[in-house]
Amino acid sequence: MTLRNRPIPRGVSIVGAGMSKFGAFPEKASRDLFIEAYKDLVNSVDKGFDPEDIEIIYVGNFSNDLFEGQSHIAPIMADSIGLVPRPAVRIEDACASSGVALRQGIIAIASGMYDIVLIGGVEKMNNLPTSKVTDTLATGGDILYEIPAGFTFPGFYAAMATAYMHRYGATPEDLMNVAIKNHENGALNPKAQFNVTIPDWMEKRKASAKRKGKPVPTWETTWDFLHDDHANPMIAYPLRLFDCSPITDGATAVLLVADEIANQFTDSPIHIIGSGQASDMPMHDREDLTTIGAARYASHAAYQMAGVTPQDIRIAEVHDCFTIAEIIASEDIGFFDPGTGYSKAAEGVTARIGDKPINTSGGLKAKGHPVGASGLGQTVEIWKQMRGEAGKRQVPGDIPLALTHNVGATGQTCVVHIYERRS
């Protein structure tokens, strides 16, 4: 089938975007992270704005109920920034929660019901020990039929990786190229959890061993380091630690307004011209384990709505919760043919200075993956890149069109957005 994809009936613009620092912050509660993201957003609005004008708040959040023991999080976030009694809505679609929240905000404005909408995303994951985080993330899968088989969240993507490697001949090293690239980008992003390249990480580990008088590891190349079972342990074969996004505390925020009032906020708004969302069955019911069907449907709908093609898109932020996920995503959004994404990554096509830069922010891998905040984090990066405000990681040249691809769990949800900068 084809998903509904008629043009957005009323233009929608982003006029501000912000994020907290991503990382592990024992001293910060979810609302503290959200306040930090909101303040960053406020500073990003060129002509300033009156928070009084915000009409409704959508907050993406995966599982604060389990992570922090606090549900009903939307009014708490609204209250934390002084926005009660405005309606506050929590959106939960696993890791796609805030990408879907953005889409709901677009629908709210496009419908004519609202003109000024605040979108947020937040996840506070580090209160729990790793074993409980593993259990909590797995609840994004099917607890009746997938979890009893022992699938973890890395395990699902690891299974996709084995199917992909088997069909296309990719190797674990091909997957790891994605992590190396994303850490290179993350090293240039001051908000990233891992603000460091993998070679620098290796050197730091050596220096630390030396300083402590411990035996200094003999790694000479990045690959020595990445093949070391101690430095880069297996999580779920074939995925090692550096194939996986980290456990992250973080929040994100975006201010959406109707096109006709965007110039009250900025002379350089970013327009959203395509939005697609799709859902899918659990992995074992899919016809093909080397692609994410919902991502293909959502991409197609977004491209049709925007009236553009993958060739027109300059940069993309895609959902690299695991290295294999970025490779599959680069194919699902139509940048590359099925089975070629891994070679394109190896050739540097997706590097910051390549033809099709992917995840200039460092991606979920290096920037961090506060699950319910991640989708909107992609939008924050696109906002910065399209306006030429990405600092050391700025992609050279104009970026007239960009795309975000945000996946929930193993692809039961995917939401894709296309952004345009005019003039």
Q: Which residues of this protein are in contact with another protein, per CB under 8 A? A: 130-132, 134-135, 138, 144-152, 154-155, 158-163, 166, 233-239, 281-285, 289
**And the tokens for 363?**
């991606």
Cβ contacts of residue 220 below 8 Å, gap of 6+?
A: none
Of the two residues 161 and 402, which places its CB atom closer to another protein in the complex? 161
**And the tokens for 211?**
């300083």
Give the 3-state secondary structure of residue 74.
helix
Given 183, 271, 319, 369, the catalytic residue: 369
The tokens 């599982």 sit on which residue? 63
Instruction: Clarify whether 417 is annotated catalytic.
Output: no
| H/E element, 375 | helix 371-386
Give the 3-state secondary structure of residue 41.
helix
Nearest distance from C-beta of residue 163 to another protein, angstroms: 4
Nearest distance from C-beta of residue 1 to another protein, angstroms: 13
Of the two residues 194 and 322, which places its CB atom closer to another protein in the complex? 322
Of the two residues 130 and 311, which places its CB atom closer to another protein in the complex? 130
Q: Tell me if 19 sits within 8 A of 382, measured CB to CB.
A: no
Nearest distance from C-beta of residue 269 to another protein, angstroms: 42
Of the two residues 128 and 216, which places its CB atom closer to another protein in the complex? 128
Q: How far apart are CA 420 and CA 285, in angstroms?
A: 36
Nearest distance from C-beta of residue 230 to another protein, angstroms: 11
CA separation, residue 271 to residues 8, 36, 262 (Å):
11, 25, 9
Nearest distance from C-beta of residue 337 to another protein, angstroms: 21
Q: How far apart are CA 108 and CA 181, in angstroms?
A: 37
Q: How far apart are CA 72 and CA 15, in angstroms?
A: 28
Q: How far apart are CA 339 and CA 331, in angstroms?
A: 8
Beta pairing class for 413-420 and 116-124: unpaired
Nearest distance from C-beta of residue 112 to another protein, angstroms: 34
What are 358's strand-pairing partners? 316
Of the two residues 52 and 285, which places its CB atom closer to another protein in the complex? 285
Of the two residues 123 and 142, which places its CB atom closer to another protein in the complex? 142
- Counting beta carbons within 10 angstroms of the beta carbon of residue 85, is it exposed (0 to 12), middle (13 to 18) or buried (19 or more)? exposed
Cβ contacts of residue 39 below 8 Å, gap of 6+?
A: 18
CB atoms within 10 A of CB 302: 27
Nearest distance from C-beta of residue 329 to another protein, angstroms: 18
Of the two residues 166 and 422, which places its CB atom closer to another protein in the complex? 166
Q: How far apart are CA 99 and CA 417, in angstroms?
A: 8
Cis before residue 154, ω within 30 degrees of 0?
no
The catalytic residue positions are 95, 369
